[in-house]
Structures are given as C-alpha cells and as structure tokens.
Amino acid sequence: MEFYIFAVYILTVFVLSRFFIPYLGFTEEKIPERLPAGMQAKIDELKLKAGSAEEFLGLAYDYLGGRFRSERFNTFLKFGYLFKTVEQAWRMSGYLPCTVSNRLLKIFLVKSGRFKEADIRRRHVFANFIIHQYLQVKVGGEWLDVDVGEKQRGMPIGRHLKIFG
C-alpha cells in the first residue's frame, strides 16, 4: 500500500504538476519583450560591470540570489507564489519559488545579450519531498549548474541542491 501512495505522490509531483505550474512545464516560456520597470536598468548595470559572460552570470546570480531565496516548506505554505508573474515577482524580495527565481535569472541572462535561450536549460531534482528546479548555463562550452534560489544557503555556481538540503 505504501508503495502505491509513494508512486501516486511521485506521479503528481513530477508529471501532473508540470501541466499547471508556470515555468515548471514540459515547454519553455518565451522571454518577454517588455520587462517590468527597473529590470532592464538592473541588467544593464550588471552588464557594464561584467567583462565576460561568466562574470555577468556571477553578478546576476549574486544579485538575484541575494534578493530571493527558496524554502521547501514555503512551497506548500505559499503555494500561490508559484503562479506569480514576472512583474509581480520583480516587485518582491525574500521567498520566491525556485521556478520563478530561475525564470528571472533566465531573463537576466538572455536580455543581457551575453546568452541565448539555447545556452540555458532547466533541470529538476527530487529534494525534500518536492520537485526542485535549477538551471544549467553554458559558459565557454561547459554547462554549469546554477541554483539561484539556494545562494543564500551558500550554494555556489557549479553546484545544485541534492536530495536533502
């Protein structure tokens, strides 16, 4: 009986949730043409400081990872945050689901002009009984794990949250 409960839970978390939770789905959302007020200015500011694509990634990671953080239990307690638009998320700070903070990072990278959408791919792991998303970003021909929601817990670029974090 326990196996069936676990199997149904896994099916729900890894498959069915992808049909209704934004930025978690089987398809990629397009980068918006128009950005929220102040977002492009922040991207441009970081772009001026960065001498390379890798430096821009680091600056964007530090900025967004310092402003937002993922929290496993808040994924349940603040379930509605999973449905925040880019505009709503941009006005926030503190807790933000990994899917939404990764969406913001992807927008930063692509809108900087230093990365193409093909240089960024989403990855998912089962962490603390929920699905967790991180990005892989291609820099210099190498794919780097980037877990922006876990930066405040000390997760560096090149690593991502594992099963229990």
Q: List per-residue pLDDT tens for the chain, 165 residues long.
A: 787 887 887 777 677 777 878 888 777 788 999 999 999 999 999 999 999 999 999 999 999 999 998 887 787 789 889 899 999 999 999 999 999 999 999 999 999 999 999 999 999 887 766 788 889 999 999 999 999 988 888 878 877 777 654
* Identity of the residue numbered 32: P
What confidence score (pLDDT) does residue 159 get? 72
The Cα 61–Cα 80 span in angstroms is 24
SS3 of 146, please? strand
Decide: 46 and 60 in contact? Cβ < 8 Å.
Answer: yes
Beta strand 130-139 pairing with 142-146:
antiparallel
Supply the DSSP string of 52-120, one letter for each residue.
SHHHHHHHHHHHHHHHEE--HHHHHHTGGGGG--HHHHHT--EE--HHHHHHHHHHHHHHTTS--GGGE
Domains identified in the chain, total number? 1
Is residue 99 in some structural domain? Answer: yes
What confidence score (pLDDT) does residue 128 get? 67
Is residue 51 in some structural domain? Answer: yes
The CATH number given to whatever domain includes residue 47 is 3.10.620.30
Decide: 151 and 66 in contact? Cβ < 8 Å.
Answer: yes
Is residue 84 in some structural domain? Answer: yes
pTM, two decimal places = 0.89
Is residue 7 in some structural domain? Answer: no
Is residue 161 in some structural domain? Answer: no
Is residue 24 in some structural domain? Answer: no
117 lies in which domain range? 36-153
Is residue 145 in some structural domain? Answer: yes
Whole-number Cα distances in Å, 31 to 13, 45, 80, 108, 164: 25, 19, 22, 10, 31
Is residue 17 in some structural domain? Answer: no
Cα–Cα nearest to 103, from 126, 76, 135: 135
The Cα 57–Cα 42 span in angstroms is 13
What confidence score (pLDDT) does residue 42 get? 98
What confidence score (pLDDT) does residue 161 get? 76
